A and B are shown apart, each in its own frame.
Chain A
Amino acid sequence: MVISSLVISSSPTAFDAVCDSIGKMPKIEIVEKQDSKLAIVLETDSTEEAVTIASEIQSLDGILNVELVSHFFEDEQKQEENQ
């Protein structure tokens, strides 16, 4: 389990569509919407999966920026060590 949170900025005109698309994506919880910005939490199996989702968001129409706020990866760290 890897948990991370992000802030996403979109252009005001695309905001509703962006919220809609992100709302439909799996493993994402939208926790705040304001001024064409979204705060989201991702719960993924790995960092890689989180990055893939972040990149997908980045490529949506109207997205201006995707920024990382926090990243918790203790379980992944342990798994990698065991391998």
Chain B
Amino acid sequence: MGAMDRRDFIKSTAASLAVSSLLVSCGKKEKGEPLVQKIGGEIDALGIKWDKSVCRFCGVGCGVLVGRKNGKVVATKGDPECWSNKGLNCIKGYFLSKILYGKDRLTTPLIRKNGKLVSATWDEALDLIAKKYEEILKRDGSDAVAMFGTGQWTIFEGYAAVKFMKAGLGFISKDGVGSNNIDPNARMCMASAVAAFMRTFQSDEPMGTYEDIEHADTFFTWGANMAEMHPVLFSRIIDTKLKNPDRVKIVDLGTQFTRVSEEADLYLEFKPQTDLAIANYFANYIIKNKLYDEDFVKDNLVFKKGETNIGYGLKDKGADIPKTAGKMEKISFDEYKKFVSTYTAKYTSKLSGVPVEKLREAAKLISDPNRKVCSYWTMGFNQHTRGTWVNHLVYNIHLLTGKIAKPGQGPFSLTGQPSACGTAREVGTFVHRLPADMVVKVAKHREIAAKIWKIPVEKINPKVGLHTIEMFRAIDNGQIKLLWTQVTNPFHSMPNLNRFTKAAKERDIFIIVSDVYPTRSTEVADVVLPSAMWVEKEGAYGNAERRTQHWNKIADSPGEARTEIWQMWEVAKRLKVDANRTVADIIYNYNPDNYYEEMWDEYRSFTLGIGKDLAPYNVIREEHGVCWPYVAKSKAVNGKKDFSDVWADIENTEPNGFVSVKWRYNARYDPYAAKFIKEHPERSFKDGIVFYKASKNDYRATVLAVPYEPPGESPDNEYPFWLCTGRVLEHWHTGTMTMRVPELRRAVPRAVVNLNEDDARKMGIKRGDLVRISSRRGSVVFPADIGGRSVPQKGLVFIPFFDETRMVNEITLDQYDPISKEPDYKKCAVKVEKV
């Protein structure tokens, strides 16, 4: 093809793709052209070979088609066959390939010698790591080692890591049990959502899917700037609004005015932490005005009250947290009514600063029986010292009104990382968990895991490990002697960072960091291992709507970079159990040339027959994302349960005898719910909804009475401002990837502090002035920004955490939710001074 022809061909391809996506987003076409038919797509006229993949950035989990030529990525496009995004990506899509090709990619292993990191061979690095494991496990036992992972691990990697720690190390350690000291950075973003899901429904993850957006007419966003953090989903909300502008309402609740607030019909700006009071007020409004669904309450709910005054995790080993922090006690509906009656409009307004009329207007919308309501939230709720509670309080609203598990109605917890759900939560890479919602504490669960892993059950440690904050505190206290971090950057992202960086440098701790670029964490490492990233390896992610998405290896990794699975496997090979066996022989007994399928089948067996069913390997390879439970009609097709008798009543079933469930707990869509109802003729279930996982509560969801309690640290005379931290549109998390993209680095090179205009004026601070922000933990200088894209409320400053040259986490507080153990990055007290 000549140069002009080629140019015209690309332009006309780009144009037709855009037109097709436009028609889909207007609702004029159901689906875009399937430009890559199936896996291993054709080479197109430009010599580009296309394969499906998933975006490497946020938790929306957009499908991306990746085009390669000569082992390099040369084009990308939104995947029209992926239902999460229907052919569209956000602007970050421009940089997807560039994150692979940053100039300082790590390409060889590094070992610290005389204080300096120097290049080493893989054998040297792996031998040293294995020697350290051996030494420490034999001397101090399995409590002395830890692994800190991520919601960016592929599902395969997370599974391999869990086996390494929980199944493998027990064969070496002096105490004969594995280590549960494995936690993901998802502890810092999702743990509160997980805790509330488990306590409310006894099953993690949302009931609905993103498709709710097209069915709903009322959207509540709680402290979530979806326009910048989950752009593709927000644009689906905007599309719904554009189609029906008079009917559709967006209500935004937050502590800063964002682009979502700008598009919203109603904006409620509340004082930090008073979301607890506002949600309770909505419940009170629902009850006072008898807007609850009486039958739904009778059939499907149980009322409880939670323990109060539960502490803030400020003391090491949770010394300020009562043992009963997570306790829930049954109460009657009347007792619950009485409890919420305190939260009148007047009282809530005084506490939150939101005018009474606005509170009433929002309450009216959320409780209107003729409205289909969806609630969305993310870090504003989860990074909260009462994060579990506030998640509960939104469930309460949806449960009382029966606005749940139906198309267009439901509470939906968003995620920040691409596989926070698929890997961290579903695989269970947490200190207390095993795969598929099981926990190490329960003997039956250990037995199931041991059987699948083919190891003696005694090898699985029943003692819950050290969750993130306590894990890093234990480095300072000397308990942890070896830490392996993978695909994450804790020595930048931990709150009260100075304490932990100092500990890493001064304590007797051996730190291994597997990553793709140098970071603040590699700076304190004893060994750095260069990793393959994203499409440089086969992988799968699970996004916030329970969708599993698989990709093949598409590009080559640079230099000697290797996958984390290979790294763990090589270490396991060096750990000798006896004369004939290594740890690898026990935990990675797969065909080394083709282990992904074997590993998937093994992992998948945890999920079958319990309503968490993952799709078979051939399906995840072929399809452009399928949601679990991916249920088979009959036992003969697959799975442990037979649904032939209810199959005819289920919507969206596929000719292959499976259904990818869009609304869990709803008998029209979820065979488990249909089957349960059929088997329980003695009970009635309003709207065909049953919380069939909640076996401990007679299959009812929990409505929890918990109050407003103040945050762990509030502004006072000395530190009069609130500090809130988070992301900016251009950079993702600690900037490890996005700061390697020259365009993004030039656009937003450094973090700035965002001030409210009135506050700035009073202090005589202008845009660009240097400002010292100090807390009880330290102080950092930032240039001031006033009147930027987001506007903080009076008395609050916002600072993003991506910048490694000015790390806001040096001043944040290591407080956490005593139930979920998730830190609160959104509230601590600081002072602001012009330099």
Contacts and interface: CB of A to CB of B under 8 A. Distances in A.
Interface of A: 1, 3-7, 9, 12, 29, 31-32, 34-41, 43, 47-48, 50-51, 54-55, 58, 64-74, 77, 80-81
A74 B76 CA distance: 10
Contact of B19 (A9, A31, A48, A72): A31
Interface in B9-40: 10-11, 13-15, 17-19, 21-23, 25-26, 28
Given A29-B15, A67-B78, 8 more contacts: A3-B7, A3-B11, A9-B235, A9-B239, A39-B22, A65-B235, A67-B21, A67-B88
Interface string B84-95: 000111110111
Contacts of A36: 242
B89 A68 contact: yes
B339 interface: no
6 closest Cβ pairs, A-B complex: A39-B18, A5-B18, A70-B77, A5-B14, A74-B74, A65-B235
A70 B28 CA distance: 20
B743 interface: yes
Contact of A70 (B76, B263, B743): B76
Given A3-B10, A5-B15, A68 B242 contact: no
B98 A47 contact: yes
B263 A47 contact: no
B22 A43 contact: no
Contacts of A67: 21, 78, 88-91, 231-232, 235
Interface in B92-146: 93-95, 97-98, 101
Nearest to A80: B101
Contacts of A38: 22
B72 interface: yes
A47 B93 contact: no
Nearest to A37: B22
Contacts of B224: none
B353 interface: no
A22 to B, nearest CB: 13
A47 B242 CA distance: 30
B463 interface: no
A9 B234 CA distance: 12
Contact of A35 (B87, B234, B242, B747): B242
Given A12-B245, A65-B231, A73-B97, A32 B74 contact: no
15 contacts: A3-B14, A4-B14, A4-B94, A32-B18, A32-B19, A37-B26, A39-B21, A40-B18, A64-B235, A67-B89, A67-B231, A68-B89, A72-B13, A72-B67, A77-B72
Nearest to A66: B91
B234 A65 contact: yes
B742 interface: yes
B149 to A, nearest CB: 30
A39 B10 CA distance: 15
A67 B238 CA distance: 12
Given A7-B21, A67-B90, A67-B235, A31 B15 contact: yes
B10 A9 contact: no
Interface in B703-739: none
Contact of B75 (A34, A70, A81): A70
Nearest to A49: B743
Given A5-B15, A41-B14, A47 B239 contact: no
Nearest to B22: A39
Contact of A9 (B90, B95, B97, B242): B242
Nearest to A58: B91
Nearest to B65: A70
Contacts of B7: 1, 3, 43
Interface of B is mostly: helix
B337 to A, nearest CB: 41
B69 interface: yes
A82 to B, nearest CB: 13
Nearest to B242: A36
Q: Chain A CB within 10 Å — which of B23, B72, B242, B263 has the most? A: B242
Q: Chain A CB within 10 Å — which of B26, B48, B234 has the most? A: B26
A33 B13 CA distance: 17
Contacts of A32: 18-19, 22
A80 to B, nearest CB: 7
B106 to A, nearest CB: 19
B26 A35 contact: yes
Nearest to A64: B238
Interface of B: 7, 10-11, 13-15, 17-19, 21-23, 25-26, 28, 46, 48, 67, 69, 72-78, 87-91, 93-95, 97-98, 101, 227, 231-232, 234-235, 238-239, 242, 245, 263, 742-743, 746-747
Contact of A50 (B13, B94, B234, B239): B94
B26 A34 contact: yes
A54 B18 contact: no
B479 to A, nearest CB: 47
A75 to B, nearest CB: 9
Contacts of B93: 68, 71
A51 B76 contact: no
A69 B89 contact: yes
Contacts of A6: 18
A54 B94 CA distance: 10
Given A34-B28, A51-B743, A70-B75, A39 B15 contact: yes
B18 to A, nearest CB: 4
A77 B826 CA distance: 40
Contacts of A64: 235, 238, 242, 263
B242 A70 contact: no
A34 B263 CA distance: 21
A64 B21 CA distance: 16
Nearest to B47: A74
Contact of B78 (A29, A70, A80): A70
Contacts of A31: 15, 18-19
B88 A37 contact: no
A58 B228 CA distance: 12
B535 to A, nearest CB: 15
A5 B18 CA distance: 6
Nearest to B88: A67
A76 B26 CA distance: 33
A68 B14 contact: no
Given A4-B94, A31-B15, A48-B743, A69 B242 contact: no
B137 to A, nearest CB: 45
Q: Chain B CB within 10 Å — which of A7, A51, A66, A73 has the most? A: A7
B94 A51 contact: yes
Contacts of A4: 14, 94
Q: Chain B CB within 10 Å — which of A1, A29, A67, A80 has the most? A: A67
A37 B91 contact: no
A69 B98 contact: no
Nearest to A54: B91
B739 to A, nearest CB: 15
A5 B743 CA distance: 18
Given A31-B18, A37-B26, A69 B78 contact: yes
A74 B69 contact: yes
A56 to B, nearest CB: 12
A5 B28 CA distance: 19
A40 B17 CA distance: 10
A51 B91 contact: yes
A34 B22 contact: yes
A70 B80 CA distance: 11
Nearest to B13: A70
B17 to A, nearest CB: 5
Q: Chain B CB within 10 Å — which of A32, A50, A64, A70 has the most? A: A70
B33 to A, nearest CB: 12
A66 B90 CA distance: 7
A71 B94 contact: yes
Q: Chain A CB within 10 Å — which of B14, B69, B78, B227 has the most? A: B14
Contacts of A73: 74-75, 97
B22 A65 contact: no
Q: Chain B CB within 10 Å — which of A1, A4, A65, A73 has the most? A: A65
